[in-house]
């Protein structure tokens, strides 16, 4: 049985869900971003306990098929944003990854999440740029090209539109305000 889990955004999330399943005595075959494959079915009592355990960790079980697809879109966007090197167009990537027409994915995402997939991807790209800027190991140009921007100016313009400051201003400030990926 596959459980669909909301707010899993990194390897630490996978480890936390594995730990939650183990602590509840639920054997699993695989845990990845947004899902866990378990052996057998869950009793209603065990499912309720797992829901509480996951909620305490900031996760949520998804039963609604529409919400499951939206969560799959979010995970795929995260993977697309964090790809190294040249990346395909996001619409092509999502259609191929989820085996669905992009226009239907886009419509569903907007209805359920209240923003477009493109806006969601921009917010994630900017958060990733903030993360890379905090490391202070790459220039803004290197970050721009690593994130698939056509130029450093394009990154800077989008960064300023989202944050109200340039990447340089962000890097130079003492307190770096970042948003948790699960809050986007």
**pTM of this structure:** 0.81
pLDDT value of position 77: 95
Tokens of 159: 């960064």
Tokens of 177: 């305000």
- Count of CB atoms situated within 10 Å of the CB of 114: 9
Average pLDDT, the chain: 92
Confidence of residue 86 (pLDDT cuts 50, 70, 90): confident
pLDDT value of position 47: 94
pLDDT per residue as tens digits for the range 21-60: 999 999 999 999 999 999 989 999 999 999 999 999 999 9
Please determine, for residue 133, whether its predicted confidence score (pLDDT) is greater than 90: yes
pLDDT value of position 60: 94
Q: How far is CA 30 from the centre of its chain?
A: 19
Please determine, for residue 140, whether its predicted confidence score (pLDDT) is greater than 90: yes
């Amino acid at each position: 049985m596959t459980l669909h889990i909301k707010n899993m955004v990194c390897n630490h999330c996978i480890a936390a869900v594995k730990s939650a399943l183990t602590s509840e005595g639920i054997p699993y075959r695989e845990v990845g971003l947004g899902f866990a494959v378990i052996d057998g079915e869950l009793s209603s009592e065990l499912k309720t306990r797992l829901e509480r355990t996951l909620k305490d960790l900031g996760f949520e079980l998804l039963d609604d098929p529409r919400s499951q697809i939206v969560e799959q879109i979010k995970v795929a966007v995260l993977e697309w944003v964090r790809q190294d090197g040249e990346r395909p167009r996001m619409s092509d990537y999502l259609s191929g990854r989820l085996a669905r027409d992009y226009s239907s994915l886009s419509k569903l995402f907007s209805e359920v999440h209240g923003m477009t997939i493109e806006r969601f991807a921009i917010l994630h790209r900017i958060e990733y740029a903030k993360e890379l800027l905090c490391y202070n190991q790459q220039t803004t140009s290197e970050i721009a090209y690593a994130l698939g921007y056509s130029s450093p100016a394009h990154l800077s313009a989008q960064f300023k539109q989202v944050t109200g400051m340039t990447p340089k201003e962000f890097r130079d400030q003492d307190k770096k305000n970042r948003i948790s990926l699960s809050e986007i």
